[in-house]
């Protein structure tokens, strides 16, 4: 399954993937309770549109994220969604890439593609490369890539 996650306002990307998720920020941030692992697995304790988001991200073979740049990391709306989706893994731990990580609830994913738009300085680009590499290992992606653009260009999809 191809999943596209973006924080673009007033831009319709509906047909660009099997599942398109708009990070509109109309949901609460993670409370850090871990109940999506220990109480009601793969379900968030907060009852809003992200309650079962991990079930969609967990089943994505190809995940594309379009996000505004925030200091070399995701925009608040996208990051909220990612923080609320750690149910994609289980509480049990293993080694991946020589580092400690959680075992995956679903399966190994093929590719993580991150497209960053906005004003991005060189140091932030370097941070992004490390960030996406870490994310891809943490979430069990085989492959990853990062692209940068000053303004969103629809032609890259």
Ligand X SMILES: Cc1cc2nc3c(=O)[nH]c(=O)nc-3n(C[C@H](O)[C@H](O)[C@H](O)COP(=O)(O)O)c2cc1C
Chain residues that interact with ligand X, rule: CB under 6 A: 30, 32, 83, 86, 138
Q: Are 44 and 36 in contact (CB under 8 A)?
A: yes
* Strand ranges in 12-119 using DSSP code E only, listed in sequence order: 19-22, 62-68, 89-96, 99-104, 109-117
Cα 82 to its chain centre, rounded Å, is: 5
CA–CA separation, 154 and 31 (whole Å):
34
Contact flags string 125-144 toward other proteins, x per CB under 8 A? -xx--xx--xx--x------
| CB closer to ligand X out of 5 and 30 | 30
Answer with the entry of other proteins, ligand X, none that 131 interacts with (C-beta below 5 to 8 A by kind).
other proteins
- Structure tokens given for 85: 């989706």
CB of 143 to other proteins, least distance (A): 17
**x/- map, 28-47, other proteins, by CB under 8 A:** -xxxxxxx-xxxxxxx----
Helix (H) or strand (E) holding 142: strand 141-149
Contact (CB, 8 A) for 70 and 23: no
> Which chain residues interact with other proteins by CB under 8 A?
29-35, 37-43, 51-52, 55-56, 58-59, 70-76, 79-80, 82-83, 86, 90-95, 99-101, 105-106, 121, 123-124, 126-127, 130-131, 134-135, 138
């Amino acid at each position: 399954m191809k999943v596209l996650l973006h924080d673009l306002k007033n831009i319709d990307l509906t047909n660009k993937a099997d599942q398109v998720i708009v990070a509109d920020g109309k949901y609460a941030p993670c409370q850090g309770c871990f109940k999506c692992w220990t109480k009601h697995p793969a379900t968030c304790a907060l009852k809003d549109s992200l309650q079962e988001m991990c079930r969609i991200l967990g089943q994505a073979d190809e995940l594309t994220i379009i996000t505004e740049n925030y200091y070399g990391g995701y925009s608040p709306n996208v990051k909220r969604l990612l923080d609320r989706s750690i149910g994609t893994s289980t509480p049990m731990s293993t080694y991946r890439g020589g580092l400690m990580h959680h075992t995956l609830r679903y399966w190994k994913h093929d590719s993580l593609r991150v497209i960053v738009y906005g004003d991005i300085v060189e140091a932030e680009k370097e941070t992004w490369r490390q960030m996406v590499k870490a994310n891809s290992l943490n979430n069990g992606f085989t492959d990853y890539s990062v692209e940068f653009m000053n303004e969103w260009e629809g032609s890259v999809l």
